Structure 1
Amino acid sequence: MSPDDRRSTTSEYGVLGVRDVDFTLDRFPPARDLASLVERHWLVSWELPAGREASVTLLPHPCVNLVLDGGRLAVSGVGRDRFTYVYRGAGRVFGVKFRPGGFLPFLGRPLADITGAVLPAEQLWGPSASGLATEMTAAARVERMIELVESFLRARWPAEDPQVELVGRIVAALLHDRDITRVEDVSDRFAIPPRTLQRLFARYVGVSPKWVLRRYRLHEAAAVLAQEQDRPWADVAAELGYFDQSHFIRDFTAAIGLTPVAYAQACRRREAPVSA
């Protein structure tokens, strides 16, 4: 794994099932001077025949997103549960995905306060957020949308918080390091007592380190089973650090909505396997 890969604090997984051909998901890196807090920009776009609708189900990352949808700009806290987005006609949704912990300096209070919540951006930035939404909606090209939102964030860039960098290093380890299978492994590696680690994550990420670790492993499990439907799920579980098969089945079913076997079968049939 290259040093650049190590810097990533979120995976590219999260879309459940065999990816629908009716929409396009594009990802764009942030400007270098914003990369300490922003993981990436993303754009989902679609164009369907009249009278037809489609949907996509996602399993959220432990990140805050700034989302432009339907001409409105919103701050979306970490979502605990999968959700389904239904789309019709032609349209697009643009987002800024902040690194885990990267939005706290903008919010100025614990991220746990907005976990599971979606707030109008005006609550944080006032009428200027409405103006940004209008300008971005009118932009024909995604490059212009990125330029507008990055200028907006630069003008409101918060003071540096060294805890954000620490949280980023911990989350990157949870994402990339297969030797980490328990929260205790994190505490040992970073010399942070478990209770202190829990408080740090509640404030900066909005969910617990155990939740983050489990979510990233389940993202990978769902991606592997969608792409390689004949892979024995027990092998997938073991590769991801699940040595208790019943534990894996329980976690997977709770997050995805189907057992590993049923999920792989649905993907093999190219069905929409789950919905929220």
Structure 2
Amino acid sequence: MRGVVGRAASASLFDLNRWPPSGRAGRFVEHFWSVRWDLRGRDPLTSTVITFPVLHITHEWGSDGPRHGFSLPNTLVHGVVERVFRTTISERGAVVGARFRPGGFTARFGRDASVLTGRVELVDDQLFGCPIDLDDDVESAAAVLDDAIAAHRAESDPTYDALTALVERIRDDDRLHRVDQVADLSPWSARTTQRVFRRYVGVPLKWVLCRYRLQQAALEIESTPDVDFADLAVRLGWYDQAHLINDFRSMLGTTPGEYADAHRA
């Protein structure tokens, strides 16, 4: 699974599911997801995710004590994580979440995504315009959250619509490696494009380009025996292997070789 580090080794220790949102919520939300675990009598598990350029709203509960600095149960908004998302789970617990499309959180709530980058905050009553009460149950909490997100009645946001098309092109076209290539496709000036990414996505355009390549590189390293790092680097748009190593280390805190030794299936 793209983004989840070492998924093959930990798959049996927790139950991870995801499903599509309703039609109206789907304008802003890519999918809903849940994680459930029961590690009573077992060692805690540290899970690492190479994050996407997206925000999440989660409802969390369990017997494992505070998470992200907040007592349980809690309902949280998670900004974009610029390196990797790492959390340790123990005892028994669950999380249900809405993963927004890139820019979807800002389009839905009107808040600047860059203010939340690298932060986790409690959902306040002002976010939805009224208190939101979520049960400690995956199906019930997801349904209430879907309805609350879908209740938005504002007019279409043309900036968000154009951004969505641009981000999908970046994600799907492995020939796009540089900011100037994206600028040529953007409906805005280079400066405005950067401002839109900061406000709506929460991170610079260059970060988004590099992150999608790093996710693909990590997936191939985990799944391909004896991967050729020099070939991988050039194929995914790095100038050479040294540039791949530098980006891998700066964003993920490890080299490709160390990552392969730790996580290759």
Structure 1 stretches of 4+ moved >6 Å = none
Question: What is the letter of the counterpart of residue 43 of structure 2?
Answer: R
Match of 2:103 in 1: 101
Match of 1:82 in 2: 84
1:105-184 → structure 2 map (5 Å cutoff) = 105-122=107-124, 124-125=127-128, 128-129=131-132, 131=133, 133=134, 135=135, 137=136, 139=137, 142-184=138-180
State the Cα deviation string for residues 29-54 of structure 1 (Å, max 9, x = none).
Answer: 11122222110001112122425211
Match of 2:217 in 1: 221
Residue 193 of structure 1: how far off its partner (Å): 2.3
Match of 1:13 in 2: 2
Match of 1:256 in 2: 252
Within the candidate set 2, 14, 23, 1:23 is matched to 14
- In the aligned structure 2, how far is the partner of 1:126 from the partner of 1:165? 24
In structure 2, the gaps of 5 or more residues are: 62-72
- In the aligned structure 2, how far is the partner of 1:158 from the partner of 1:13? 33
Match of 2:67 in 1: none
Residue 28 of structure 1: how far off its partner (Å): 0.7
Residue 18 of structure 1: how far off its partner (Å): 4.2
Counterpart secondary structure, 1:103? helix
Match of 1:35 in 2: 26
Query: Residues 160, 94 of structure 1: CA spacing in aligned structure 2 closer, same or farther, 3 A cutoff?
Result: same
| Structure 2 residue 208 is the aligned partner of structure 1 residue 212 | yes
Residue 174 of structure 1: how far off its partner (Å): 1.0
- In the aligned structure 2, how far is the partner of 1:96 from the partner of 1:51? 29
Question: What is the letter of the counterpart of residue 94 of structure 2?
Answer: R
Aligned residues of 2:49 and 2:86 also touching (Cα < 8 A): yes
State the Cα deviation string for residues 151-200 of structure 1 (Å, max 9, x = none).
Answer: 12223454321111111111111111012110111111234322111011
Residue 148 of structure 1: how far off its partner (Å): 1.6
Question: What is the letter of the counterpart of residue 60 of structure 1?
Answer: T
- In the aligned structure 1, how far is the partner of 2:15 from the partner of 2:122? 26
Residue 149 of structure 1: how far off its partner (Å): 1.2
In structure 1, the gaps of 5 or more residues are: 1-11, 271-276
1:38-57 → structure 2 map (5 Å cutoff) = 38-57=29-48
Counterpart secondary structure, 2:87? strand
May I ask how many residue pairs the two structures share in their alignment? Answer: 251
| Structure 2 residue 222 is the aligned partner of structure 1 residue 233 | no
Question: What is the letter of the counterpart of residue 64 of structure 1?
Answer: L
Counterpart secondary structure, 2:104? coil
Aligned residues of 2:166 and 2:185 also touching (Cα < 8 A): no
Instruction: Say what the alpha-carbon RMSD is for the aligned residues.
Output: 1.9
Query: Residues 245, 68 of structure 1: CA spacing in aligned structure 2 closer, same or farther, 3 A cutoff?
Result: same
Query: Residues 205, 68 of structure 1: CA spacing in aligned structure 2 closer, same or farther, 3 A cutoff?
Result: same
Counterpart secondary structure, 2:93? strand
Which region of structure 1 is more displaced relative to structure 2, 63-72 or 104-113? 104-113
Aligned residues of 1:64 and 1:78 also touching (Cα < 8 A): yes
